[in-house]
A and B are shown apart, each in its own frame.
Chain A
């Protein structure tokens, strides 16, 4: 049914690829982005059930226009068509990129050619990246870098910058239009949800898309999210204009609150009373076809458990899905991974788990590897290398043993578990600056 309201909507909406239209989101501020409704996978890692949008914006001041972010290269034509409806290229004074990822910088080289007088404005972390991004393009690009507290006056409209590194690229920033209380937040508060109705109070249900985007893009950077929220929360906010998905004009603060919620620890689920002494957690994961690696895991867990102040949990990777294990690992202090060697490698569920950990921050956690093997035993060193690559600390050399463990070997496993727990808790012989014997360089392997 076509109502008067939907008729009006159709004329004020973004139009089609053939007839693209800029959409006013506030006085003198327009959406000039692109819709990509058929996309089903973004950046290789995200599923996008209803496509995505690349949101770019134009802000008009008395002394010129600012373009905030651009679009993915193949959408440049609709972006320029929308931009031309609200500004001439010679009016563009600044181009702000809130981060340099190609889905928002794709039309930049062409925009700089069309508006050569415009100054590019990027975060202080961005110049090296800009160089790498544009090294194949032969034009010389002049830019200014900005930091939190810097502002640009467009005449009656001031753009203020917030340095919000790692949300989700190192060079990420947000841009705040002070007079109209609009936050151009880049990928922050964005999601992959394509709906031509554009505004959060008009589009379909995108709660799933919003949380999913956070879980895959922002979650590894929770501490940086909290830093950014400290800058964003005090701002008066009428509207949040992210680079993907709906424009958040109806109660925008809800989305800020949701980020805070998602970035908090799962304290409510912690079974330990709040007044308990400090404790550490070690998770032991294993796989075992004939039971040898399983017996090692049990002995390691028992050895670790014998150290005070550490809670040890033991899981057979075959018995669970990867996702809940990732949730367990996020707040844990240490993980030990056990796998037999199969065809010169660790078993696939180990790699499935390890390759799913990119969504959590692992830096500084302790890792360890163990496993039974038949003749070559590659699994343990391969897992250790991967743990280091993922920025875990590997303080106790991995433990592997041939085929069926003897009682003596199980005692070694017990000792390995204890040493690991001591490395985690900072107790025992591992701790203290003078307790380990000096190593000669020549003896390092």
Chain B
């Protein structure tokens, strides 16, 4: 299985993960600062900033794009409950 390094910058923690996991599946287990509300891409609570490897996350869905817009996301912000890791990347709370 393809592996990727997912780094949570706020706590300086890197995890080796199989490709395809969602950021949400990892961040709570390691105590990173990203927080969650609905857990299904609706509320925007879990917005995170991708500091490296922007292209190593699955493309946002139309719905995620919309929620990001509504929550005034800046460039390289994603929803941690939606984004799936497909290669090395670093994230931190938005």
Contacts and interface: CB of A to CB of B under 8 A. Distances in A.
- Note whether A and B form a binding pair: yes
Nearest to B32: A393
B25 to A, nearest CB: 9
Nearest to A390: B35
Nearest to B33: A393
A235 interface: no
Given A124-B70, A431-B12, A438 B5 contact: yes
Contact of B13 (A124, A392, A436): A436
A364 B13 contact: no
A435 B12 contact: yes
Contacts of B35: 363-364, 388, 391-393
A313 interface: no
A395 interface: yes
A439 B45 contact: no
Interface string B66-91: 00001000000000000000000000
Nearest to A394: B31
A4 interface: no
Contact of A125 (B11, B14, B70): B70
Interface string B18-39: 1001000010111111011100
B53 interface: no
Contacts of A388: 28, 35
B65 interface: no
Interface in A426-445: 430-436, 438-441, 444-445
| Interface size class, chain B | 20 to 34
Interface in A392-445: 392-397, 423, 430-436, 438-441, 444-445
A128 interface: yes
Given A125-B70, A388-B28, A391-B45, A364 B16 contact: no
A436 B12 contact: yes
The dominant DSSP class at the A interface is loop
Interface in B41-57: 42-43, 45
Nearest to B21: A441
Given A388-B28, A396-B31, A441 B18 contact: yes
Contact of B14 (A124, A128, A170, A438): A438
Given A128-B42, A441-B21, A436 B14 contact: yes
Contacts of A391: 35-37, 45
A433 B37 CA distance: 26
| Most central of A392, A395, A431, A440 by chain B CB within 10 Å | A395
A393 B93 CA distance: 11
A430 B29 contact: no
B16 A440 contact: yes
Contacts of B29: 444-445
B78 to A, nearest CB: 18
Contacts of B45: 391
A430 B36 contact: no
A444 B5 contact: no
Contacts of A440: 15-16
| Most central of A391, A392, A433, A434 by chain B CB within 10 Å | A433
Contacts of A432: 12
A124 B70 CA distance: 8
Contacts of A364: 33, 35, 93
Nearest to B70: A125
A433 B7 contact: yes
Contacts of B21: 441
Contacts of B16: 438-441
B12 A444 contact: no
Nearest to B93: A364
| Most central of B14, B29, B31 by chain A CB within 10 Å | B31
Contacts of B37: 391
A433 B12 contact: yes
B41 to A, nearest CB: 11
Nearest to B17: A441
22 contacts: A124-B70, A125-B70, A128-B42, A363-B35, A364-B33, A364-B35, A391-B37, A393-B35, A395-B32, A423-B11, A431-B12, A432-B12, A433-B9, A436-B14, A438-B14, A439-B16, A440-B16, A441-B15, A441-B21, A444-B15, A444-B26, A444-B29
Interface of B: 5, 7, 9, 11-18, 21, 26, 28-33, 35-37, 42-43, 45, 70, 93
Given A170-B43, A364-B35, A444-B15, 6 more contacts: A392-B35, A393-B33, A438-B5, A439-B14, A441-B21, A444-B26
Going nearest first, the 10 A-B pairs with the smallest beta carbon separation are: A391-B35, A395-B31, A393-B33, A433-B12, A441-B17, A438-B14, A444-B29, A439-B15, A436-B13, A436-B12
